[in-house]
Amino acid sequence: MVDFCENTSHTHLNKALFLDRDGVIIEYVPYLSQPEQVKLPDGAGKALKSWQDAGYLLILITNQAGVGRGYYTLKDVEKVHTYIRQQYGRFEVYFHDIFVCPHHPDDHCLCRKPSPEMLIQAAKKHQIDVSQSFFVGDAPSDLQSAISANCQPVLLLTGRGQETIKNLAQYTTEIKVFTGLSETVQLID
């Protein structure tokens, strides 16, 4: 009798919930640079915990042009991110990674949203199936980044979302719209 060894080592791709920072996981404050400016939206901790418990990697994707404009430093951004992680840690929420574009819009870098570059880099780094993932944002650059990366775009009516929804008809891709982060849990399969 011959035993055949089956190869069961199929590559498993992860799902992610990509998240914009300002206006999505924290209240929108233009050019926020200090931890004491950070305020979590109501129900956001519980919502992100639900996504995390459903097997989604939580990854922040944020443009921080304030660095490129000289308003604050990357060290300031890191302090804010440390504080955000601590605040969400109270809900046992863990951000798997944070991707930051610190460039000035005039730098024409490759990473700044609406470019999908940060999503693509995150997908490579963490073996993510982008088509099975969502990107929650409040700005046109978030939606365009998601669409360009073949990720499912989600618009929140927080932050700049009220302004963004006025131009939703320009997109040919279906965009789910929610009033807040806590409602997005309806998308969890």
Active site residue ranges: 20, 22
Q: Does an H or E element contain 189, and which?
A: none
d(CA 80, CA 131): 30
32 within 8 A of 167, measured Cβ to Cβ: no
Estimate to the nearest angstrom the gap between the alpha carbon of 95 and the chain centroid: 10
Short-list 50, 60, 59, CA closest to 16: 59
Q: What is the DSSP-derived secondary structure letter of residue 74?
A: H
Short-list 153, 146, 149, CA closest to 175: 153
Q: Which amino acid is at 112?
A: R
